[in-house]
Structure 1
Amino acid sequence: MPSSPEALQQARQRLADAQEKVARLRDLDPYLIDLSLRENPVGARVGQTLADKLAILPKLREFGFRNILLGTLDYSYPDELEVDDDFMMTLRDRQVDMSGCFAFTAVGLVDADGRFVPDPSQLKLRDYRVPNTLHEIYLSEAGMAGQYDLATLLRSLPASIQWLRENIRGDQGGAPRILINIVDGCDAFAENPEGVFEVLSLLAEQPIEGISFEDDRGTYLPLQVGAYVAAARSLLPPPLKILVHMHAGGGFENASLIEALVNGADGVWGGLPKRAAIIGHASLGELIANLVRVGNPHMQRYRLDRLLPLATKLQVLDEEQQVPDDLPILGHNAYRLPLSFFRQIPGRFMDLPPEAIGGRYRYRICPLVSDTQVIAGRLEEVTGRPAAEFSQAVLEQMIFLMRRDLRAGERIVYDQPDNLLRLFARAQHASEVASADVEV
């Protein structure tokens, strides 16, 4: 029974809606703040020394980041300084240009007598001469507990913003760029949306750059994140910015970024590598790669030829361990082909060949599916001989032998060089025997 015209039109409209969202991602010029100097060390085994940070900053600028977070000033025990403090003081003392640089600060509070008391992090921001800030607040019940209630926060926010504008010298001597970061934003939207709306309505009237909010455990679904962004956008019209930051808890993080952007978010903050608090986050490296995937021309401002090697190098520095092999986009196996059918092709819609981000294809032997092209590629890696030198007959014999071994109950990691070379030798012998039989 043929489909009705109405059903066909509805099907076509569904596809058109998706294409409209892809076009939005393609045309977006995202507001990105890189946190490779802070976000990545948070969950790392080792972290970064002052010397590391001084070496990393120019690499981030060379890559193309215009906005870079230097560190966090609203940490616990503020009198016990961190490397971030040393870093910012060193940049100040060496008169390094900090244009476009940010630091995290906490909101100052108006006390019971109506007197505003700046947070210690605000005083450090002033003293270190960092020009811009992600100014952090909490809006969930658990987040505010022991700090302030909503009434106190509503009273304090305008005073805290005013203090920053009066005491912080921004880029090129102008006003500081202030983004209010709602650390527990997703929790607050889910738990107390009316309270969030009250705060956002207040912020819409403040002299700030915009807001940011987080899913700090990575537990909210992309559809929820998209709805929270859309709700915030209805109260914060442009030019006010909305940024998001998504942790990797339930595996939704990169999908949540896409949902946020198509629902009205202006950008993202995060580190270039995947490593972050808990098990990682939706990194700028992954986002940039995915925007390249949809053909976003604004990504050409970044040194894409350095994306994969730089992100990998930074994570290895923080962890003193290799990047997990099976990490999408940035991992060792992300571009190791087990089957040539999976190769991503330049110019094909939604494909992202590794060369586009500074990588290259490699090969991985999987006994069940690896074809002759993959086996020849892996042999080239192991032996140094060109892949074209290996005969099709021998490569096919290698496939047959792997199948026979599995059927006989033998489990062999052929991807390992020694095992691969033994398989190759067996296949050569089998091929020679078969040729001899044909000749006879």
Structure 2
Amino acid sequence: MIDLSLRENPVGARVGQTFADKMAILPRLREFGFKNISLGTLDYAMPDEREVDDDFMEALQADGADLSGCFAFTAVGIADESGNFTPDPSQLKLRAYGVPNTVHEIYLSPRNMQGQYDYETLRRSIPESVMWLMENIRGEKGAAPRIFINIVDGCDAFAENQEQTLSILEMLAGLPLEGVTFEDDRGTYLPCQVGAYTAAIRAMLPEAMKVLVHIHAGAGYENASVIEALLNGADGIWGGLPKRAAVIGHASVGELLANLTRLGNEKVAKTYHLHDLLPLATALQITDDLAEVPDDLPVFGHNAYRVSLASFRQLPDRQTDLPAEAIGGVSRYRVCPVVSDSVAVAGRLAEVMFTEPGHFPTDVIEMMIRLMRRDLRLGRRIPYDEPERLIELHARAVKACQPVVESAHEH
């Protein structure tokens, strides 16, 4: 896994990250357990206008920071028909900032190559660009740089330009690469398509080369697509820890870690500090957006582990369940007038009143449910999950039950 919390998340955020934010985030990512971290992107538009990423990488180099496992994204340089090679500005920055590894980006669909290069130019340029990196970038501890080739429009390339895409993959198989990665950059391809494309790449590359994927949210398939890619030979993914991404979200590293834990992958718990997963992911997204994480976001949202019905609880001894406590959260309850049962109502009331669910008499909790149903039948739409409204409902239920209690005493 390559973590992109320093770039992927702020790209689609309302605010983004300052230099100070990045300096504070990097050690937290290391502490969580990430061995591979992208410091930022250097192949952005208008390279003469510096970004925070430039300042950040330059400062790390000046401070003599340990950049082991660090990457930056770069674009392919261009070789002309005479064999003259011109490195991309991002490659020159990579060298200047001393970043030891890179994810080197290319496009392969006709639509996206247009205006950048044609197929023949790309075929000439990729080997020259990789050789330039090997000769000019000092890797970790003096070794060669670790280079991934990322096919930014990977799904489009397979769907629209399969023959040339396979030809490029055949060429990549013979280059000194760490691996190949591809994207569904709009999140619109079906999981079965992503799986098929992954299988094709895996079949074209040597076993030692890694295959990574990066899937954006678009049609709601993103996490299913990642699982399908892993089942078809992918070694992992790159992405940010939170859900926030360049579009409306992505299959995040955080979500994958949670889902692998859910599926019983024992390596995850040995590699990462899972008890920090939920608080770290949500804290990073709040930093990027200056806003709370959406309540109904799967895995990391406030309501992801607040159940309205006892049967919705996720249990530690049930296959594919992932209790909130496993990733640093707390299992809680919420009150929905139509469906909440006595477990949910008592649980939420206990949270609001800072006590234990067993503190409340069964008849009072049942009366609260009855009153919610009666209110709806009378056309009253009350958000009982809000603390003040729930306390008011509880008081009404106690009062409604009081005559029964007094009658019992008199008897």
TM-score, length of structure 2 as denominator length: 0.98
Distance in 2 (alpha carbons) for counterparts of 1:104 and 1:148? 19
Alignment of 1:407-422 (within 5 A): 407-422=377-392
Distance in 2 (alpha carbons) for counterparts of 1:156 and 1:421? 69
Aligned partner of 2:301 among 331, 337, 343: 331
Distance in 2 (alpha carbons) for counterparts of 1:311 and 1:328? 12
Which residue of structure 2 lines up, in the alignment, with residue 176 of structure 1?
145
Which residue of structure 2 lines up, in the alignment, with residue 19 of structure 1?
none
Partner of 1:269: helix, strand, or coil?
strand
What is the CA RMSD across the aligned residues, in angstroms? 0.9
Which residue of structure 2 lines up, in the alignment, with residue 210 of structure 1?
179
Distance in 2 (alpha carbons) for counterparts of 1:422 and 1:60? 44
Partner of 1:279: helix, strand, or coil?
coil
Aligned partner of 1:231 among 200, 210, 213: 200
Letter of the aligned partner of 1:406 in structure 2? Answer: L
Aligned partner of 2:238 among 238, 263, 269: 269
Which residue of structure 1 lines up, in the alignment, with residue 96 of structure 2?
127
Which residue of structure 2 lines up, in the alignment, with residue 362 of structure 1?
332
Letter of the aligned partner of 2:174 in structure 1? Answer: E
Aligned partner of 1:53 among 19, 22, 25: 22
Letter of the aligned partner of 1:415 in structure 2? Answer: D
1:97 aligns with 2:50: no
User: In the TM superposition, what is the alpha-carbon distance from 1:386 to its structure 2 partner?
Assistant: 2.3
Q: Structure 2: 5+ residue runs without aligned partners?
A: none
Distance in 1 (alpha carbons) for counterparts of 2:233 and 2:280? 30
User: In the TM superposition, what is the alpha-carbon distance from 1:408 to its structure 2 partner?
Assistant: 1.7
Q: Which moved more, 1:370-379 or 1:265-274?
A: 370-379
1:392 aligns with 2:362: yes
Which residue of structure 1 lines up, in the alignment, with residue 346 of structure 2?
376
User: In the TM superposition, what is the alpha-carbon distance from 1:409 to its structure 2 partner?
Assistant: 1.8
Letter of the aligned partner of 1:263 in structure 2? Answer: N
Aligned partner of 1:77 among 31, 46, 49: 46
Letter of the aligned partner of 1:364 in structure 2? Answer: R
Which residue of structure 1 lines up, in the alignment, with residue 169 of structure 2?
200
Aligned partner of 1:287 among 231, 256, 259: 256
Which residue of structure 2 lines up, in the alignment, with residue 256 of structure 1?
225
Partner of 2:233: helix, strand, or coil?
coil
What per-residue deviation string (whole Å, max 9, x for no partner) do you get for residues 123-169 of structure 1? Answer: 10011000000000000111101110011100111110000000001
Letter of the aligned partner of 1:140 in structure 2? Answer: S
Size of the aligned set, in residue pairs, is 409
User: In the TM superposition, what is the alpha-carbon distance from 1:407 to its structure 2 partner?
Assistant: 1.6
User: In the TM superposition, what is the alpha-carbon distance from 1:410 to its structure 2 partner?
Assistant: 1.5
Letter of the aligned partner of 1:346 in structure 2? Answer: P
Distance in 2 (alpha carbons) for counterparts of 1:405 and 1:237? 66
User: In the TM superposition, what is the alpha-carbon distance from 1:437 to its structure 2 partner?
Assistant: 4.0
1:322 aligns with 2:292: yes
Aligned partner of 1:241 among 198, 210, 216: 210
What per-residue deviation string (whole Å, max 9, x for no partner) do you get for residues 242-283 of structure 1? Answer: 100000000000000000000001110000000001100000
User: In the TM superposition, what is the alpha-carbon distance from 1:113 to its structure 2 partner?
Assistant: 2.6
What per-residue deviation string (whole Å, max 9, x for no partner) do you get for residues 178-205 of structure 1? Answer: 0000000000000011010000000001
Distance in 2 (alpha carbons) for counterparts of 1:39 and 1:383? 40
Sequence identity percentage: 65
Partner of 2:81: helix, strand, or coil?
coil
Distance in 2 (alpha carbons) for counterparts of 1:55 and 1:401? 50
Distance in 2 (alpha carbons) for counterparts of 1:373 and 1:118? 64
Partner of 1:435: helix, strand, or coil?
helix
What per-residue deviation string (whole Å, max 9, x for no partner) do you get for residues 78-122 of structure 1? Answer: 011000000000000000000000000000110233201110100
Distance in 2 (alpha carbons) for counterparts of 1:107 and 1:350? 42
Which residue of structure 2 lines up, in the alignment, with residue 156 of structure 1?
125
